[in-house]
Amino acid sequence: MVNPLKICNNTQVKKFTWSYSSISQFKQCPKKYYHIKVLKDIKETETEAILYGKRVHKSAEDYVRDGKEIEEDFSYIKPSIDSILNNFKGKTYPEIRLGLTENLEPCEFFDDDVWYRCVVDLLIIDPDGKRAVIIDYKTGKSKYADTAQLELMSLAVFKNYPEVETIKAGLLFFTNNVLIKENYSLDKESELWLKWIEEVNKIKKCFESEVWNPKPNFTCYRFCPVLSCHHNGRN
């Protein structure tokens, strides 16, 4: 594989780690990303929906890993999880944390040289080791589905499990039992990485220039925690 990092410039910038969520936050507003991820002088408030989602994920994790009974409030998720486990046999890894260095080498999630991080809600490796399944649990509405997250997870799996050649991935929306599917193959790995490296380079440029411009968006008026921004409707 040709190392896609060669497209990066050689300017030294502050070391940072990234994930799908941080890329999404940067694309929404560089200034918001700067305060939350770089300065870290502002923390986002965990909404009721976020807290609910965490409880659902924990219940699903305990069920898959330990066979622990799912909380009654979340019993509706069991049929969907059982369907996945019954249809895809192999070694299961619930809530597995994966890391990569900047050279795209596997590393631990909290290693000093970790560059990219992701958490896969459910990873299943086929007994032959060549095929894998990735499932990302969702407690929101399927109309907001974004499979880009699955693409990044697949790239991390390919690096951490180099014997894997193909991946079936899906966003599993519990509320309406919808599974949005995507397929990924090892032979497309380089092509996919180039796209994501391009996104990461945009963040690097902000570090280099020390300019983090605000980007007005739907969160400004009611939801953005960066009150110092002139686009914020609550300042």
pLDDT above 90 covers a percentage of the chain that reads: 81
49 occurs within a structural domain: yes
E strands, 2-127, are: 91-100, 106-107, 116-125
pLDDT band for position 235 (cuts 50, 70, 90) = low
93 occurs within a structural domain: yes
Q: Which residues pair with 31 in a beta bridge?
A: none
74-115 per-position pLDDT tens digit = 999 999 999 999 999 999 999 999 999 999 999 999 999 999
3-24 per-position pLDDT tens digit = 444 334 444 456 899 999 999 9
| CATH code, domain with 171 | 3.90.320
23 occurs within a structural domain: yes
Taking the C-alpha atoms of residue 16 and residue 115, their distance in angstroms, rounded to an integer, is: 7
E strands, 103-173, are: 106-107, 116-125, 131-138, 166-173
Mean pLDDT over 121-129 rounds to 97
What value does the mean pLDDT of the chain take?
Answer: 91
Burial 97-131 (b: 16+ CB within 10 A, else e): ebbbebebeebeeeeeebbbbbebbbbbbbeeeeb
Burial class (CB in 10 A: 0-12, 13-18, 19+), 188: middle
198 occurs within a structural domain: yes
pTM: 0.90
**Nearest 5 degrees, angle CA 196-CA 2-CA 30?**
20
216 occurs within a structural domain: no
At residue 8, the pLDDT reads: 40
173-186 per-position pLDDT tens digit = 998 889 999 999 99
83 occurs within a structural domain: yes
The residue type of 183 is N
**Domain of 167, in residue numbers:** 4-209
126-154 per-position pLDDT tens digit = 999 999 999 999 998 877 788 999 999 99
At residue 144, the pLDDT reads: 73
At residue 13, the pLDDT reads: 53
95 occurs within a structural domain: yes
Burial class (CB in 10 A: 0-12, 13-18, 19+), 66: exposed
204 occurs within a structural domain: yes
Number of domains in the chain: 1
